[in-house]
Amino acid sequence: MKKILITLALSVLLYPPTLEAQNKSKKSKKQPELTTQAPKKQSKFKTYREVIPSNAVTDQGLFKVHKVDAKYYFEVPNSLLNKDMLLVSRYAKLPADLGGGYVNAGSKTNEQLIVWERFQDKILIKVKNYSAVSNDSLPIHLSVKSNNYEPTLFAFDIATFSPDSSATVIDVTKFYGTDVKAISGLSASMRTTYKVRNLDDSRSFITSMKSFPQNIEVIQDFTFNATSPPSNADTETISIQMNQSMILLPENPMTPRFYDPRVGWFTVSHFDYGSEELKSDQKTFIRRWRLEPKDPEAYARGELVEPIKPIVYYLDPATPHKLRKYIKQGIEDWQKPFETAGFKNAIIAKDPPTKEEDPDFSPEDIRYSVVRYVASTTRNAMGPSVSDPRTGEIIESDIIWYHNHLRSYRNRYMLETGAANPSARTLQTSDEEIGEMMRMVIAHEVGHALGFPHNMAGSFAYPVDSYRNGEFTQEFGIAASIMDYARYNYIAQPGDKNIRFIRQMGPYDHYATNWGYRIIPNAKSPEEELKTLDKWIVEKANDPKYRFGGSSRFDPSSQTESIGNDPVMASTYGLKNLKYVAENLPKWTSDVTNNYDDLDELYGELLSVYGRFVGHVVTNIGGVYSITKTPSQGGLVYTPVDKEVQKKSMQWLHSNAFTTPDWLISNEILQNIDAAGYTETIRNLQSRPLNSILNFETIGRLIDAEALTTNSYKAMEMLSDVRKGIWKEAMQSQKVDVYRRNLQRAYIDRMGYLMTAELSQGRGVQYYYNVNQSDVRALVRAELKALQRQLTTAKGQTADTLTKYHYEDCIERINQLLEPK
């Protein structure tokens, strides 16, 4: 017992009471309960209310859009991930002269098919490409995806999730508030031209975000530091306001319709690698609006039926009130062609809604198609549109009308119809006539927005003499299609009665609308429509009124600004009228205004009209008619212009283009509008058609035609005819005036070009033969030697000193070409 007490005492000495104190301290703290579950891992994402507090400003729509102080958030529904959407960027406001005159408020700067995807802890915007496709059930789909990898436009960190986890919240402030080049509005070329340094963050901000059931609209104000801005140069600043539209594409895409080149349509294309063909099958669909009848059974019976969703165009709030009715008429002129396709009230024009009627209305909003009225000195109009790249369905379009464009039409109205049309002989064209011109321009641009490209064959459908027939022109207008560049009837002559001078809708417009928009009963796929579509074309194939032809460099039947099926006769009438106008131009302008501004402007445009009339005849030389057809139709697609027509055209050019046009050289005009440059003006006017004839492509087509038939206008013959006409004074020992001397030197320069240059690849130009190994050099050399001999003889026969000096100079120039030092 004693030993035990001693041991306890020693224990107390060796282990003092601190242990007890520590035990008490531990017991005083709350001890964790024992559990068999693993400890809960803390989430790396903030809670919803930490990101989107209760005072956030929220807009419901396609995505929920939240504004929290200066930040913007998208709440992206999981159900909309990987869904096709269009992201369309366009200017809402911009500085003067940005882009050189054809860029304006409402101009589209980019159009991208996007999808929102989740990758790990990020949400990505991927730019999707529909140029290569395949069914995703096929093995080759893996290769299509691997070889067409889609770029990532932007990556967002996930901020949080919606309370029910059905949506992902991301901060989009940086995407919309910084310089993301694909949506910035400034292209790479603009950045170089204007020496853009950077986006100034302190002067850039997001103006607004609005969410609607099918789309989200964002407005940004961007200010860039730029050394050479297009306007307000001292500020070294470019400020633009951009509108970003994002719209969900239809879950059930429109059934596409296959394109046929025999009918004119804008298109979308892709390569289908799932095709059973022995190659990727290129499929091309027309671009058109989705029109579906409210009553399919009545439609199938041939009754006129309203569409479920008509095409609606709103007028820009900036449109002058006195012009609104003409714009509306131009839009609704397409109702008749749509009736041909079986639809009633398919296209409707509306005034812009008031704030009370639609407080969210904005011309930039992708939900609205608008005729934009642009305050700009540019003289033009356009009809762009936005379409679904999967099917060609047009989603929205904006018609662009530039304010000063009416002046262009007033001027050409006077110049092209003034001889036969007394009401055109004034600077104060009546509101009714100006309105009718505007109406037809709007109809033309709406045609583009409906899917139709230019149809330059439309005016070749009518015989030239029919343009002098009042009854004919009142019924059929001046072209078979409003989509032609046929502005006015310049063929009608003084004394012709009841003539329509302004273009109008034509039979081709009805035909093409029916072909593209009519629902084909019982056709369940694009392939099942083909037989019917081909039948419609073949039924009209031999009638020139229903022919389509795009603008061509070589086809006289598909030219811009021409009318009638005979360019030589049409231009003869046109020049006869133009001479009358030139003689009376001062009386109709400066004598009325007591200044020379309008005279100066109109004389310059008169020269352009003259150049167009000449150019229409030039196209006959080496011309080839192109009429698209299938093998089952028979006949040839490409046919050279008849030899006699080409020779007649060459004679016409020598008489009307290369002979000095004295009627254009009026002292009363020239010496009142400029101090100098008269001879250069005429030289330029004459050398242009000469260069068009002495052209590698023209000569190449003549060589090809000679290889195919013995009865062709041969290149050697054409070059000889040019030389004999241009140098006729040398053959007849005549004095050469200053205008002809300039033209003759232009001839030598052009022949030098043909001796040394190559046919280059360029816009609209095909490198289709080796010039250096062709007959071209040999033919040109032979012509220069013949001219050399001709001038050597003529030099000794002329009595005019200046003509002699001219010939000596020309001989020396030829020597240098034939035997360069």
pLDDT tens per residue, range 364-380:
889 899 998 877 777 77
Pick the range with the lowest mean pLDDT from 143-147, 370-374, 753-757. Answer: 143-147
**Looking at per-residue confidence, does 146 or 374 come out higher?**
374
Per-residue confidence at 6, pLDDT binned at 50, 70, 90? very low
Q: Where are the domains of the chain?
A: 53-248, 290-554
Helix (H, G, I), strand (E, B) or coil at 613: helix
Structure confidence at residue 144 (pLDDT): 59
Residue 15 above 80 pLDDT?
no
CATH of 290-554, one of 1.10.3470, 3.40.390, 3.40.50, 1.20.1300: 3.40.390
pLDDT tens digits, residue range 206-224?
999 999 999 999 999 999 9
* Residue of 3 and 503 predicted with greater confidence: 503
pLDDT at 111 over 60: yes
Per-residue model confidence as pLDDT tens digits over 543-566: 999 999 988 889 999 999 999 999
**Across 265-274, 762-771, 791-800, which has the greatest mean pLDDT?**
791-800
Which helix H or strand E contains 305, and what residues bound it? none
Average pLDDT over residues 653-664: 97
Going by pLDDT thresholds of 50, 70 and 90, the confidence category of residue 3 is: very low
Q: Is the pLDDT of residue 36 over 50?
A: no
Read off the tokens for 438: 């505007």
Per residue in 468-478, pLDDT tens? 999 999 999 99
pLDDT at residue number 379:
74
Any idea which of 102-116, 286-300, 426-440, 698-712 has the lowest mean pLDDT? 102-116
Q: Can you tell me the mean pLDDT for 567-577?
A: 98
* pLDDT score for 220: 95
Q: What is the mean pLDDT of residues 782-798?
A: 95
pLDDT confidence band for 276 (50 / 70 / 90) = low
Read off the pLDDT of residues 70-85 as tens digits, 9 standing for 90 and up. Answer: 999 999 999 999 999 9
In this prediction, residues 34-50 reach a mean pLDDT of: 69
pLDDT of residue 133: 66
Relative to beta strand 57-59, strand 64-68 is: antiparallel
pLDDT at 532: 97
Contacts 24+ apart (CB under 8 A), 98-104: 98/190, 98/230, 98/231, 98/238, 98/240, 99/190, 99/230, 101/376, 101/377, 101/378, 102/378, 102/380, 102/382, 104/372, 104/374, 104/376, 104/378, 104/400, 104/402
pLDDT at position 649 over 80: yes
pLDDT at residue 816 above 50? yes
Identify any residues that bridge with 367 across adjacent strands, giving them in sequence order.
Answer: none
Contact 598, 432 (CB under 8 A): no
pLDDT category at 4 given cuts 50, 70, 90 is very low
Give 3-state DSSP helix, strand, coil % of the chain, rounded to 5: 45, 20, 40
pLDDT at 14 over 70: no
What average pLDDT score do residues 451-460 get? 96
Could you tell me which residue, 783 or 101, shows the higher pLDDT?
783
What is the model's pLDDT at position 28? 43
35 has a pLDDT exceeding 60: no
Q: Model-level pTM greater than 0.85? A: yes
Measure Cα distances from 455 to 53, 66, 325, 622 in Å.
58, 49, 27, 22
Residue type at 133?
A: V
- Does residue 797 surpass a pLDDT of 50? yes
Over residues 344-359, the pLDDT tens digits come to 999 999 999 988 998 8
Which tens digits make up the pLDDT trace of 422-443? 999 999 999 999 999 999 999 9
| pLDDT-above-70 percentage for the chain | 91
Q: pLDDT by residue (tens digit) across 527-539? A: 999 999 999 999 9
Closest CA to 401 of 418, 384, 417: 384
Question: DSSP E strands: which ranges in 515-630?
Answer: 624-626
Band the pLDDT of 25: cuts 50, 70, 90.
very low
Q: What is residue 22's predicted lDDT score, i.e. its pLDDT?
A: 40
pLDDT above 60 (res 21): no
Region 461-466 average pLDDT: 98
Among 108, 151, 104, 161, CA closest to 128: 151
Is 60 exceeded by the pLDDT of residue 8?
Answer: no
506 vs 422: CA distance, rounded Å: 26
| pLDDT on residue 759 | 79
Q: Please state, rounded to an integer, the average pLDDT across all residues of the chain.
A: 90
Percent of the chain residues topping a pLDDT of 90: 79
